[in-house]
Every structure is written in structure tokens, then in C-alpha cells.
Amino acid sequence: MAQDTQENEMGVKSVGRLLIAYSIPAIIGMVIIALNQVISSIYIGYGIGPTALGAMAVTFPAINLLMAFCQLVAMGCAALCSIELGRGDMQKANAMLGHSVLLEIVASVLFGVVFWLFLDPILLFFGASSETLPDAHDFMVPLIVTAPVGFLVLGFNFLTRATGYAKTAMCTALMTSVGIVVFSPVFINWWGWGMRGAALAQVLGQLFSDAWLILHFARNNALIRFRRGIWRLRLDWMKQILSIGMAPFLINFCACVVVVVLNRALLENGGDLAVGAFGIINRLMMVAGMSVVGLGQGMQPIIGFNFGARKPERVRQALRYGLIAGTLITLTGTLGSFFIPGTLVRIFTDHGPLVEVSEHGLRIMGAMFVCVGPQIIIGTYFQSMGLAKIASLISMLRQMICLLPLLLILPPVFGLDGVWVCMPLADVLGFAVAAAFLWLSLRAQDDPCQKGDPECTPPPDFLKPKQI
């Protein structure tokens, strides 16, 4: 009975209350994840030095690649799970747990082997210098060796939220915090393990999170749980998972490519100091950005369930509330970067030259950060509706077609300021593209014209979601 209530409330309860109930824990969880990275960077900045902050920035593309392959599976399984719960197909919803575990392990092993074999050349390509390479190498090695641990955390977490256990998923981030907050000072400051100690603190936190989530899915009263029959991979379901997960995969893959170009442009125009400044700015923007990601994660099961249950008015309502909330969240990031950049930068370091470069860069890069919130929500909407092609296209357009050309054109003309200004310009262009696709898709869904009608022309099929 409890399962039926949890399964059906997304189709009958107030959308606003559902969004609050599901998003607040998700937002808290994602903010904790972002703060974990902030806290880790603070320990690194003050405990190891400004060069180590530059090394952290060099590892961003590698982390983005890790996230790309992880979310390729995690987001696809979570979205399909929500849709199948809405349709009442509990067998397929349960099977997504087995598919997630098996595919995440395969992806993490492949990721780990490739990076282990070519780590230093990859880091040099990502923008490492002779000074930052040793620290970047030391940070990445523990993460590579334990890649399955991190992959499983994300896969479990997305499914936990998709099945309505938002508070359980929130506690996952708290488990990771225990590792970082408790062990970072021990490993970095007391034992002198440097960057390797910073990475090991994160790994321990992920191990705590995995244990917590495994216990959740082992419970008999969990909506989906470990059971016989979920460990057999099906090719047709794998295709659906990868199709839906392609959008977040492309987001992170494109982010990897862009950050590589960005790091190399920063290194060429401002040296290791500019690379370190970007590391600080990235951590600050991550707090607001991850808050919107959490909002989207809370919105995703509501949209997925009601789409599967054929309740389009509730889908639209969830989208509208998400857009408003997402815009307000990233607006705070824009205001903070404009009014108090120095205060924010000094959280990480008191190194005078690094503070000066970071403060200037933050003012410019955060100017149009307000546009990022609605972009994330629109992408989550298309992904939740199974419109993977549009979600993927939006991701590609913003980063590869908008930001990458700007990074190739502006820095040679304007130097370091040319690097900083690329981001706000791409934010505006990306938002315009996402908003245009949303408008076209909503119009297509409302268009009553059908194929074969001689009196009208139906909208393109790729703009309209299909029941899968």
C-alpha cells in the first residue's frame, strides 16, 4: 500500500508541492556536492598552495569525461524508470537498477584503463604545465583506480531520486561530505599526502555513499530493489538508455572539450595563475549551477511520471515552476559575481596576484550566468520527455558551436579578457537556442494537425514526444 501511494502521488498531488518535496532535498544534496568540492579546494589552496589550485583546474576535463560516461547510463536508466513507473510497468522499472549497476561497472573499468595507460599525456593535453603536472597526476590516480566506486554512486543516486526517495539521495551527499571534511585535513595537513590525500578523502566519502545506497536498494519495501531477474541486459532497453542518456553525455563531453581549449588559452595568455583563477571561478559557479541541477533532478521524475501517465497539463506546470526557480537561482550567481567577487575569491586563497586575477575574471564570466538556469531546466525537460535528440542538440549548440569558436577567435585578439568574455556570450547564445527549441516543441505538441490531413502541414516528428 505504501508503494502504491508513493507511486501514484506524482500523478495526483499538487505539482508545486511535489516540486518542493522532490527538489528541496535534491538541491540540498547537489549543493552539498558542490560545497564538498569547494571545501576540498579550500584545503588544497591553503594547505598545498596556489599551484595546486591550477592543477585542480587541469583535472576538470578528466572529471567531466568521467561524468559524461557515468551519466550516459545513469540519466538514461533514471528517466526510463520514471516513465515506466508512470505506465505501471514495474518489471521494466526494476530492470533499470540491474542495467545501471552492470553498465556503470563496464563504463568505469574502460574509463580507468584508458586513463591509467595515458594519464600524463592526457593531462598535458588538458593544459597542464611542468609545474602543475605532478599535482594533477597525484590527484587523478586514486580517482582512476577507484572509478567504479564513483560511477556506482551516481547511478544509484539518480535511480533513488527517480523512484521518489529524494531524502535518501540527499543523505548520499552528506556521506561524501564526511569523507572530505573529516579526512581532508588529516591526509593533507597532518600526514602530508598532498593532492593524493585530497583525492583519497573524496574516495572514502564515495565508499560511504555506496554502502548507504546499497542498503536502500536491498530493503524489501523499496519501490525498486535488488532481486532476481534484473541482472540480464537487454539490447533494446540498452539502446533506449543510451539514447536518453546521450544528452547529459554530450553536455559533459562537450564541457571536457571546451575546458581543454579554455585551459590552454588561459595558460597561453595568463600562465598557471590564470588557470588557477579559473579553478576558483569554476568552483564558485558550481554552487549555483548544481543547485539548478538538483532542481532539475527533482523535476525529472514528476515530468517523466506524468508524461508516462498521459497528463500533459501537469508536465507543463512542472516545467513552468522549474523555469522560474532555476532562473532565480542563477540570478544570485550573477549578482554575487558582480557585487562581491573579492569576498568570494578569498574563500579559497589569500595569494595576492591570484586573488586579483580571479576577481577580475569572476566579474566578467558571471555577467550572464543568470541564463544558465533556464538552459539546464529546458534540457532536463526534453530529456525527461524522451526527446533525447533535442536535448543533445541544445548541449552541442551551446558549447561546441557557440563557446568553442569564441575561444578560438577572441583570445588572440583580446588576450586574457578575451578568454573570460567567451563564457557570458555563450550563455546568452545557448539560452536563445534552448528557448527557441522549447517554444517550437510546445507549439508542435499543441498542433492538432496529423499526417495525411490535406488541409494542414503537421510539425516535424522530432519536436513531439512519443510514448515509449
| Residue 452 belongs to a domain | no
d(CA 363, CA 339): 8
Supply 14's cell numbers. Answer: 499538487
| Residue 13 belongs to a domain | yes
Domain holding 134, by residue range, is 2-445+459-463
DSSP 8-state assignment for residue 371: G
SS3 448: coil
| Residue 29 belongs to a domain | yes
**Helix 194-217, helix 50-87: angle, nearest 10:** 10
Supply 252's cell numbers. Answer: 559533459
Mean pLDDT of the chain: 86
d(CA 61, CA 125): 10
| Structure confidence at residue 459 (pLDDT) | 75
| Local confidence band at 222 (pLDDT 50, 70, 90 cut-offs) | confident
| 328-354 pLDDT, tens digit each | 999 999 999 999 999 999 998 888 899
Q: What's the whole-number mean pLDDT along residues 444-453?
A: 75
pLDDT at 33 over 90: no
d(CA 116, CA 284): 30
d(CA 21, CA 369): 26
| Residue 468 belongs to a domain | no
| Residue 231 belongs to a domain | yes
Closest by Cα among 375, 342, 348 to 361: 342
Supply 418's cell numbers. Answer: 578575451
Residue with the larger pLDDT of the pair 9 and 254:
254
Q: What's the whole-number mean pLDDT along residues 97-112?
A: 90
d(CA 300, CA 9): 14
| Residue 451 belongs to a domain | no
How many separate domains does the chain show? 1
| 112-130 pLDDT, tens digit each | 899 999 999 999 988 888 8
Residue type, 11: G
DSSP 8-state assignment for residue 314: H
Residue with the larger pLDDT of the pair 410 and 49:
410
Q: What's the whole-number mean pLDDT along residues 43-67?
A: 85
Q: What's the whole-number mean pLDDT along residues 37-63?
A: 86
pTM: 0.76
| Structure confidence at residue 467 (pLDDT) | 54
Locate cell 611542468: which residue? Answer: 130
pLDDT at 224 over 90: no
| Local confidence band at 1 (pLDDT 50, 70, 90 cut-offs) | very low
| Structure confidence at residue 3 (pLDDT) | 47
Q: What's the whole-number mean pLDDT along residues 383-392?
A: 79
| Residue 64 belongs to a domain | yes
d(CA 445, CA 84): 21
pLDDT at 247 over 80: no
| Residue 453 belongs to a domain | no
SS3 content of the chain, % helix, strand, coil (to 5): 85, 0, 15
Q: Are 151 and 77 in contact (CB under 8 A)?
A: no
d(CA 231, CA 96): 9
SS3 312: helix
